[in-house]
Amino acid sequence: MRIRILGCSGGIGAGSRTSAMLVDDDVLIDAGTGIGDLALDDIDSIRHVFLTHAHLDHIAGLPMLADSVFDENFTTPLTVYAREETLRALQDHVFNGVIWPDFARLPTAGNPMLRYQVCSPGDTVTIKNRNFYAVDVMHTVPTLGYTVQNSGGVFAVSGDTKTNETLWPVLNACDDLRVLVIEVSFPNEMERLANDAGHYCPITLAKDLERLQHEPEIWLTGMKPGEEDRILDQVHKAAPAKNIKMLSAGTILTV
């Protein structure tokens, strides 16, 4: 399994792109601004999108993706998997005929190019040889993390979250956790803001990492632009024994 990081920033500017990860060539986890750097052939191959939640930095590219892959004579639809609340937000506020066309009714309501599939905490979706398992996490809106398992092991994505009681038991139950992508958005000096906004800062992340019973590669995502070096340094000081690195657009992870 090959995971290509298209965007991993908590904002835009100076080349930053927001959350999007391409799994092999056909599945996206989140659809932030990072998908805009894909080649047209790469975009045309995407047929599955797993969303963590409805915030704009995680869905901003989805309307344009739907438009790009739309084909009246399609053979495989574009399916979006997310919590019911996330799908409802997309239907009400994005694909509503005002902000963007309702591709869930095109080319016809009976056979649309865009399909929605509810994915609730505890659900598993199997696509080819990969099992996508949805995990409840703690953010300001209903949010999912995901574990993705194939014969090579497990890759996990936290989604946006702060300290929670749900992610860590799932990760510890993964016998072959190879890679963990986890968010940390603000430096320690903004701990109160981070908590109010539903995000980790270095000291809260390090405390939760103490619960992890495995030793995967840990990759940080979601840092606010301009704060990356400070946050990374604080994480290393708070969790010196962990194998922690910072993601960047273009990073390739393999499992």
Report CA-CA distances (Å) from 167 to 159, 164, 251. Answer: 10, 7, 24
Pairing of the two strands 2-7 and 20-23: antiparallel
Output the tens digit of pLDDT for each of the chain's 255 residues.
Answer: 999 999 999 999 888 999 999 999 999 999 999 999 999 999 999 999 999 999 999 999 999 999 999 999 899 999 999 999 999 999 999 999 999 999 999 999 999 999 999 999 999 999 999 999 999 999 999 999 999 999 999 999 999 999 999 999 999 999 999 999 999 999 999 999 999 999 999 999 999 999 999 999 999 999 999 999 999 999 999 999 999 999 999 999 999
Which residues have a Cβ under 8 Å from the Cβ of 161 and sit 6 or more positions away?
137, 138, 139, 143, 145, 167, 183, 198, 199, 200
Which residues have a Cβ under 8 Å from the Cβ of 96 and sit 6 or more positions away?
102
Contact 14, 37 (CB under 8 A): no
**What's the pLDDT score for residue 14?**
82
Report CA-CA distances (Å) from 182 to 60, 96, 220. Answer: 20, 32, 5
CA distance linking residue 151 with residue 140, whole number of Å: 34
In Å, how far from its chain's centre is CA 224?
16
- Which class is domain 2-254? alpha beta
CA distance linking residue 195 with residue 160, whole number of Å: 11
Single-letter residue type at 23: V
Residue 191, both tokens: 């701990």
Diameter of the chain measured on Cα atoms: 56
Q: Global pTM?
A: 0.96
Q: Tokens 């953010």 label which residue?
A: 139
- End-to-end Cα spacing for the chain: 5
